Amino acid sequence: MVEKLRNLLQRWFSNCQQQALSMKTELTTWADMELHLRFNKSFGYEVEPINSWEFNVKYAGNSLISSYSKYIYPTRNNKDWVIPEDIRCRVVLPPKSRRPAGRPRKERIRSGGETKRTRCCGRCGDYGHNRKTCKRPIPLHPRDEHSCVNIVESNINIQEFSLQPVHQSL
């Protein structure tokens, strides 16, 4: 029994050591993927330094111009509007509002950059449920310890890029 535990720990440490030696950066694989994804999402932003610790982040000029490229024409003076008499005499009340039925949300509303993490079952390795709610039969052969992580890493295709320093034009 003790020998089995020692072999299991030896295998775990060996796998972790191989993963650590194969890393190309000082970040973990997950942190490196997250950094790449967020870097790719940030191409439309422009960063202006306020001081050495604070920055003002806003859309870059081209993306801002394309957002507001459509015309919005001003309305005429409201005294010049032609309103039919049957519409003018209507009384418009605010809508009746009631508290929505059901129990209030228990999950917080995520910000724009956050994504929902899918659960990975510790027993069968599938997504969408956990070990406690797994309805599949118990597997005869034990699965890979990190099969969920390996599946996620193989499905994400990240293009290699280099971080270029940003030069400010004066």
CA angle in degrees (0–180, nearest 5) for 110-111-114:
75
Q: By the 8 A CB rule, do 124 and 139 touch?
A: yes
pLDDT at 148 (0 to 100): 62
For the cut 60, the answer to whether the pLDDT of residue 40 exceeds it is yes
Q: By the 8 A CB rule, do 59 and 67 touch?
A: yes
Q: By the 8 A CB rule, do 128 and 134 touch?
A: no
CB neighbours of 59 closer than 8 A, spacing ≥ 6? 44, 45, 46, 67
154 to 6, 17, 20, 26, 89: CA distances (angstroms) = 30, 20, 18, 20, 66
For the cut 80, the answer to whether the pLDDT of residue 154 exceeds it is no
Query: 143: pLDDT confidence band, cut at 50, 70 and 90?
Result: low
The percent of residues above 90 in pLDDT, for the chain, comes to 8
Q: By the 8 A CB rule, do 124 and 96 touch?
A: no
For the cut 60, the answer to whether the pLDDT of residue 155 exceeds it is no
For the cut 50, the answer to whether the pLDDT of residue 89 exceeds it is yes
pLDDT at 149 (0 to 100): 53
20 to 6, 17, 33: CA distances (angstroms) = 21, 5, 15
Integer Cα distance of 95 and 140 in angstroms: 60
pLDDT at 82 (0 to 100): 86
Query: What average pLDDT score do residues 48-69 get?
Result: 79
Query: What average pLDDT score do residues 4-17 get?
Result: 91
